[in-house]
Amino acid sequence: MQISYDYDGNADFSTLHSYNWLPAPELKTGAPKVQYGTLLEARLKSLVDEQLAARGFAKNAENPDFLVTYHVAVEDKVSVTYINELYGYGPGWGTSYRRNMLHHGYPGTTAMVNEYQQGTLILDMVRNSDKQLIWRGTAVAEVYPDLSREAKEKRLRDAVEKLLANFPPPATGSN
């Protein structure tokens, strides 16, 4: 799983104490397959709520300091690995760097193709006062559709925990 995050360096995260959820975004034409569903949404929101509460943030529907939203996408991917192979037999000579090597046989290259699905989870934190994005965390991992419900939930929990380990970002010293 690859985790990354970015944030507004001018945002004062010390003033954030409460949050609420924004509705899930609308699907855009041409976007990767996006998988929203009531089960995924309920699990994700519950896990994020749990992690934010552990960091001292309170859920507040009336006047939150920041808003949370998410995006989930699944894309079909292909990776190709080439393996150079040299089949054959025969004597050889040369230096340790294999120059002037004599070899009899069938050289060739084999391509190994792997088709898989890659899932992306994006968590956005938006300042409520001006609706500006102040923090974004992204988790990218291969999707294993045949996993049990428990295994899928564990992977989602791991992703949320790793993402929110970076929220709020470390305070930087002032000049």
Note whether residue 22 is domain-resident: yes
Q: Is the pLDDT of residue 105 over 90?
A: no
Note whether residue 151 is domain-resident: yes
| Structure tokens given for 166 | 């970076």
> Which of 49-63, 76-90, 158-172 shows the lowest mean pLDDT across its residues?
76-90
Q: What is the distance in angstroms between the CA of the first residue and the CA of the last residue of the chain?
A: 36
Cα separation of 31 and 124, whole Å?
18
Cα separation of 142 and 2, whole Å?
10
Domain count within the chain: 1
Main-chain phi, psi angles of 18, to 5 degrees? -140, 160
Note whether residue 27 is domain-resident: yes
Residue with more model confidence, 20 or 88 = 20
> Residue 144 sits in a domain of what CATH number?
3.30.160.670
Which DSSP state fits 44? H
Q: Cβ contacts of residue 146 below 8 Å, gap of 6+? A: none
Q: Is the pLDDT of residue 20 over 50?
A: yes
Note whether residue 89 is domain-resident: no
Counting residues of the chain whose pLDDT is more than 90, the rounded percentage is 52
* Spacing of C-alpha 159 from chain mean position: 8
Note whether residue 135 is domain-resident: yes
Confidence of residue 95 (pLDDT cuts 50, 70, 90): very low
Cα separation of 82 and 140, whole Å?
24
Please give the model's pTM, rounded to 2 decimal places.
Answer: 0.74
Note whether residue 107 is domain-resident: no
Which DSSP state fits 94? -
Note whether residue 152 is domain-resident: yes
Domain that holds residue 67: 2-77+115-164
For the segment 127-152, the average pLDDT, to the nearest whole number, is: 93
Note whether residue 109 is domain-resident: no
